[in-house]
């Protein structure tokens, strides 16, 4: 790899520096104060690596490279400028693009090298294209569901898991055969084609609320396939970038599954919504207390400490800017307002934080579950906006509940709980939430955005 | 060849360990920009595609490589742009207090 010429050595040094910059880039992401420096480091590393690569002595033709780079920029810029509410589907789409790149390069490399492919090379090539192609279609499906061009509800049928696992097993079987008999090049399309189908089938049974885990898992696959490509091309830079991405996706997937108290296999093969619907008790005819915006405003204005718990419902209703107005109105009155954010609130890890930051709420008011839970007993009002299962105390104290063991936000420990909700319909898991029937709970029925807007108007009126 | 392979495995192992240690420390606050940033960094796969297209070894490799460059470059550019936009929005309450 390292030819004796000066240019080749220069390229290797550029790669080495780029690798260090990539690691620093992720290190600086640890705090919002240094995070933008992290982006700069990443960009500089990328510039060095791509610039160095263009000097590579083997490159004899720049025409198509130039065309492709320009096209990539033309497509990439609008993808970087999407609305913040579209970030989950944009992320899924970029997993798909990354996986597409890896799969195409792997395919080209195979046909360039075949039939003279060593066993190890064939093994990593197989890993590259299998992971790459299933991530490609899987991510496209996830993006389609998030963009709501595909049905969000899980589609299940009898024997689904058997069909999926059998498909994957066939693809791996063919790959193993190719490792020992790479001269059978006609079999190669199978280890691209079968995983492409598997990727679609894998996402079909997955519902919207499982998206945070699925996106993280696809992120991890995309990273691992890039690392495999690094083995194929003997590029240490690519191996490390892929390992970093794979580790990141893996950590996020573990966080997400922990936050839902479920295993990976349960997310991928469980089709949660479907399975639990039968077990859920019919909504009981228990009575709830409801309140008007005036009453809610009076209670909030009298509070010292308020914790707002946002969920995906807030994003759907586009209520985050009204929530900011509420935050401002209460803060002006001297009320201490914080936000309690469950790890799986929204459609991807950190989704709520981005939406609230866009609405200009300072990030030091956004606390994650472990930070905020100790505060609820001293909290006057917990205001739940568009969240349900993540506040369900059955997860803590009802061993028969399907979500038993899932970590939740302990809103029921606050002095008063207010829940903004369209109706009494059950949440994603189809489970009734006992919080709604507590004496200290007030149900605020209506659209999240208009209801919060009405509270804000009441607060302004009361003050003037 | 055999030695290269072993070195690559070492590199992968160390890269994964560093990844775990560094990313474990990222605040949950920034998990969305983290994912878009790692996505952009992952687009480093473009270097493989660039060499593939530039070497012009076969028609197939040129066609597949060109599409691969487009896909990776759009991730690279889009990923950095959106990550920076998101991070710009994260403000501390300190200077904003009225």
Partners of A310 in beta bridges:
A385
Q: With an 8 Å Cβ cutoff, are A349 and B45 in contact?
A: no
- The answer, yes or no, to whether residue B1 has pLDDT greater than 70, is no
Q: With an 8 Å Cβ cutoff, are A75 and B15 in contact?
A: no
Residue B31: which pLDDT band, with cuts at 50, 70 and 90?
very high
Q: How far is B29 from chain A (nearest CA, A)?
A: 6
Domain annotation covers residue B19 = no
- The answer, yes or no, to whether residue A282 has pLDDT greater than 60, is no
Q: What amino acid positions of A are annotated as catalytic residues?
A: 389
Kindly state the percentage of chain A with pLDDT values over 90.
Answer: 70
- The answer, yes or no, to whether residue B3 has pLDDT greater than 70, is no
Quote the pLDDT of residue A276. 41
The helix/strand/coil state of B95 is coil
Question: Is the distance from CB of A273 to CB of A154 less than 8 angstroms?
Answer: yes
Domain annotation covers residue B1 = no
Quote the pLDDT of residue A445. 93
**DSSP code for B96:** T
Sheet strand arrangement including A336-341 = A366-368, A336-341, A305-310, A381-385, A416-421, A441-445
Average pLDDT score, chain A: 89
Domain annotation covers residue B80 = yes
Evaluate the omega torsion of the peptide bond into residue A115 and state whether it is cis, within 30 degrees of 0: yes
Q: What is the mean pLDDT of residues B72-95?
A: 91
Domain annotation covers residue B17 = no
Domain that holds residue B33: 27-89
Domain annotation covers residue B6 = no
What is the chain B residue with the closest CA to A128?
B45
Q: Which residue has the higher pLDDT, A128 or A464?
A: A128
Quote the pLDDT of residue A270. 54
Quote the pLDDT of residue A463. 52
Average pLDDT score, chain B: 90
- Cβ neighbour number for residue B26 with a 10 Å cutoff: 24
**ipTM computed for the complex:** 0.94
Residue-wise pLDDT tens digits, A371-421: 999 999 999 999 999 888 899 999 998 888 888 889 999 999 999 999 998
Q: Which residue has the higher pLDDT, A274 or A115?
A: A115
Residue A366: which pLDDT band, with cuts at 50, 70 and 90?
very high
A211-233 helix and A119-146 helix, angle to the nearest 10 degrees? 150
Contacts B93 to A, Cβ<8 Å: 362, 364-365
Task: Please state the domain extents for chain A.
Answer: 87-274, 293-463
Domain count, chain B: 1
Residue-wise pLDDT tens digits, A51-80: 999 998 888 889 999 999 999 999 999 999
Phi, psi of A30, deg, nearest 5: -65, -25
A234 touching B (Cβ < 8 Å): yes
What is the chain A residue with the closest CA to B54?
A59
**Dist. CA A78–CA A238, nearest whole Å:** 26
Residue-wise pLDDT tens digits, A227-269: 999 999 999 999 999 999 999 999 999 899 888 887 777 766 6
**Dist. CA A88–CA A422, nearest whole Å:** 24
Q: What is the mean pLDDT of residues A179-192?
A: 94
Q: With an 8 Å Cβ cutoff, are A364 and B18 in contact?
A: no
Residue A114: which pLDDT band, with cuts at 50, 70 and 90?
confident
Interface with chain A: mutation pick from B6, B14, B15, highest number of A CBs within 10 Å: B15
Q: With an 8 Å Cβ cutoff, are A26 and B11 in contact?
A: no
Of A22-26, A397-401, A423-427, B11-15, the poorest mean pLDDT is in A423-427
Residue A3: which pLDDT band, with cuts at 50, 70 and 90?
very low
Residue-wise pLDDT tens digits, A76-113: 999 999 999 899 999 999 999 999 999 999 999 999 98
Question: Is the distance from CB of A58 to CB of B51 less than 8 angstroms?
Answer: yes
- The answer, yes or no, to whether residue A14 has pLDDT greater than 90, is yes
Quote the pLDDT of residue A459. 92
Interface of A with B in 123-182 (CB under 8 A): none
Q: With an 8 Å Cβ cutoff, are A362 and B73 in contact?
A: no
CATH superfamily of A293-463: TPP-binding domain (3.40.50.1220)
Residue-wise pLDDT tens digits, A207-218: 878 888 899 999
């Amino acid at each position: 790899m390292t030819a004796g010429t000066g240019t080749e050595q220069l390229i290797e040094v550029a790669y080495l520096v780029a690798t260090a910059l990539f690691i620093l880039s992720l290190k600086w992401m640890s705090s919002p104060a240094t995070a933008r420096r992290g982006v700069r480091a990443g960009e500089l590393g990328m510039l060095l690596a791509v610039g160095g690569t263009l000097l590579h002595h083997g490159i004899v033709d720049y025409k198509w490279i130039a065309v492709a780079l320009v096209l990539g920029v033309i497509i990439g810029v609008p993808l970087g400028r999407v609305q913040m509410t579209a970030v989950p589907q944009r992320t899924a789409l970029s997993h798909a693009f990354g996986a597409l790149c890896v799969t195409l390069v792997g395919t080209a490399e195979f046909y360039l090298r075949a039939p003279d492919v060593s066993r190890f090379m064939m093994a990593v090539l197989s890993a590259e294209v299998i992971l790459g192609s299933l991530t490609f279609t899987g991510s496209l499906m996830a993006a389609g569901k998030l963009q709501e061009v595909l049905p969000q509800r899980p589609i299940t049928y009898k024997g689904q898991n058997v069909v999926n696992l059998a498909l994957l097993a066939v693809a791996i079987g063919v790959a193993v055969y190719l490792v020992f008999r790479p001269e059978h090049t006609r079999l190669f399309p199978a280890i691209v084609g079968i995983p492409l189908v598997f990727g679609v089938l894998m996402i079909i049974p997955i519902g919207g609320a499982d998206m945070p885990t699925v996106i993280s898992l696809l992120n991890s696959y995309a990273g691992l396939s890039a690392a495999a490509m690094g083995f194929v091309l003997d590029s240490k830079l690519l191996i490390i970038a892929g390992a970093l991405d794979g580790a990141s996706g893996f950590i996020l997937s573990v966080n997400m599954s922990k936050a839902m108290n479920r295993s990976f296999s349960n997310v991928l093969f469980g089709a949660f919504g479907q399975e639990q619907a039968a077990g859920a008790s019919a909504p009981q005819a228990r009575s709830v207390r409801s309140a008007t915006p005036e009453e809610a405003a009076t209670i909030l204005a009298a509070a010292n400490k308020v914790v707002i718990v946002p969920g995906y419902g807030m994003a759907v209703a586009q209520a985050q800017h009204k929530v900011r107005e509420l935050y401002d109105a209460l803060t002006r009155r001297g009320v201490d307002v914080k936000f309690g954010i469950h790890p799986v609130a929204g459609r991807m890890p950190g989704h709520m934080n981005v939406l609230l930051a866009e609405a200009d709420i300072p990030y030091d008011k956004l606390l994650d579950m472990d930070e905020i839970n100790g505060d609820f007993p001293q909290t006057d009002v917990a205001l739940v906006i568009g969240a349900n299962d993540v506040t369900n105390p059955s997860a803590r104290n009802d061993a028969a509940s399907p979500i038993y063991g899932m970590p939740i936000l302990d809103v029921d420990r606050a002095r008063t709980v207010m829940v903004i909700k369209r109706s009494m319909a059950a949440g994603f898991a189809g489970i009734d939430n006992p919080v709604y029937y507590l004496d200290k709970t007030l149900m605020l029925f209506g659209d999240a955005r208009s209801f919060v807007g009405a509270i804000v108007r009441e607060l302004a009126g009361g003050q003037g | 060849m055999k030695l290269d392979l072993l070195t690559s495995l070492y590199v992968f192992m160390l890269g994964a360990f560093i990844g775990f240690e560094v990313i474990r420390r990222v605040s949950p606050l920034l998990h969305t920009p983290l994912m878009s940033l790692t996505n952009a960094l992952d687009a480093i796969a473009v270097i493989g595609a660039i060499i593939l297209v530039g070497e012009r070894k076969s028609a197939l490799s040129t066609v597949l490589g060109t599409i691969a460059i487009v896909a990776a470059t759009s991730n690279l550019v889009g990923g950095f742009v959106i990550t920076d936009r998101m991070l710009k929005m994260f403000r501390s309450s300190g200077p904003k207090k009225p």
